Chain A
Amino acid sequence: MSNWDILWDERAQFWSGFLSTLEIFGLSIVGAFVIGCSLLYLLEGSRKRLTMPLRIFIDAMRMLPFLILAYLLYYGLPSVGIRLDAWWSGVGALAVYHGAYFAEIFRGSRLTFPPGQIEAAKAHGFTKGKMFFRLILPQVIMQTRPLLGNQLIYALKDTAFLVIITVSELTAAANSLSSTYFIPTEAFIVVIGFYWAISVTMEIIIKQCGRFSAKRGFDNV
């Protein structure tokens, strides 16, 4: 039996690892997106005293490795009484970490937002929330599309760090198969292929979003 046959027989383990990675990735980027948008809203500027701590938080997340945050949630939180299991501390750490990066990307684009639109909206009687949700947010998201795409790929790569805090995802599947059958090269080549396929798919989706955004006129601003 060649090595590839062994791997094909064990494809269930690869598939479950792949699904687990996709679950973690999907949940965490949805959470990160929500956190990023909320941080942008909180930074909108009416509450001056909130701006400084939030920016310190975002800068701290950008200066720390992701694994330290995952360690903090998984190994550190039990000391203060909150006991998360590995999967949820992984998803939570990914959501918070990449939420801060999303917020920084959004903030950079928000700084160059044309103030005329905001004044016109206020003149028309838009409330703060409606103005943020219907005017600012869609344009900021569509304009930062390439940077968001890059950040999503970084989030995908960060899911592999969770193997260090014992979450069973794709890299863990490759590791366990390679140690059971002593075929590390083939097992990891398959897994690298999986990661590459996911990232190519995401790039295609981002490009489609670009076509949607051009059709709806977001690129004319």
Chain B
Amino acid sequence: MNTSAWQMLLEGAWTTVWISAVSIAIGVVAGLVIALIRLARIPIVDQLLVLYISVARATPLVTLALFIFLSAPDLGLDLNRSVAGILALTLNTTAFNAEIWRSAFRNFSREQSEAAMATGMTPWITFRRIMLPQMVITSLPGLVNEMSFLIKGSPAIAVIGIVDLTRVTNRISAVTYEPLPPILVAGALYMAIIGCLVWLQRLAERRANRLAM
């Protein structure tokens, strides 16, 4: 494999990393928002959210990406490829994250929220200062697991034409007619990316344990 093949691989890796990072960032926050809304138990909105979570967890990423990219002009939106890919990944990961946050809410100790109420804290202050820091730490393994699933599912966006790390191996082998080396290097790069994610998680857990939770 020559220099230009390596360059293409690194560009593909960069595309995968930035699209995954944006989807992860939006997905974690959106999942939290949806979990909060479900906590409020508004009648119709709750059933719609349950339906959305159930369908989004059952739909493959490839189908979702194709659906969003091909139907967007019908709905009047003019999406560029990367935005459609990010939207598909985000919709999928938000549903999973909503479930993770919801179980973190359910497992939060009731004594602390009762104590907060007894000292006169409003629900918003209780959430912001007491619940959220602890919930972030306890749901960190689940969230990072979901992040690694997102990165492992990100090759789905190749089907709408984004040249990510997997698709770029097709391009390289179209020129060199040797498909095996770029695929092996792409595999190693994916392992490196996911390895970085796991290492960041260990760092975050170590810092959290210093707070003695």
Contacts and interface: CB of A to CB of B under 8 A. Distances in A.
Interface stretch (B26-34, B100-108, B179-187): B179-187
Nearest to B71: A185
Contacts, number: 121
A161 interface: yes
Interface string B52-63: 001101111111
B61 A72 contact: no
Interface stretch (A87-95, A108-116, A171-179): A171-179
A153 B55 CA distance: 12
A36 to B, nearest CB: 18
Interface in B50-86: 54-55, 57-64, 66-67, 70-71, 74-75
Interface of A: 60, 63-68, 71-72, 75-76, 78-80, 153, 156-161, 163-164, 170-171, 174-175, 178, 184-185, 188-189, 191-192, 195-196, 198-200
Contact of B166 (A68, A188, A199): A68
28 contacts: A63-B191, A63-B195, A65-B166, A67-B156, A68-B166, A68-B183, A68-B186, A68-B190, A71-B183, A72-B183, A72-B184, A76-B184, A78-B179, A157-B58, A157-B59, A157-B61, A160-B61, A163-B62, A163-B159, A164-B62, A171-B66, A174-B63, A175-B66, A188-B63, A188-B66, A191-B63, A192-B59, A198-B58
B141 interface: no
B62 A192 contact: no
A164 B60 CA distance: 13
A158 to B, nearest CB: 7
Which of A71, A184, A192: most chain B Cβ within 10 A?
A71
B67 A192 contact: yes
Give the dominant DSSP class at A's interface: helix
Given A164-B62, A192-B59, A79 B190 contact: no
Contact of A76 (B62, B75, B183, B191): B183
Contact of A71 (B55, B75, B148, B166): B166
Interface residues of B, number: 40
Interface string B171-201: 0010000111001101100110011000000
Contacts of A200: 54, 58
B contacts with A: majority SS: helix
A184 B74 contact: yes
Given A65-B151, A68-B155, A68-B166, A192 B63 contact: yes
A58 B71 CA distance: 38
A65 B152 contact: yes
B153 interface: yes
B154 interface: yes
B166 A67 contact: yes
Contacts of B153: 65
Contacts of B70: 178, 184-185, 188
A158 B183 contact: no
A118 to B, nearest CB: 30
Nearest to B70: A184
Contacts of A67: 155-156, 158, 166
B58 A153 contact: yes
Contacts of B179: 71, 75-76, 78-79
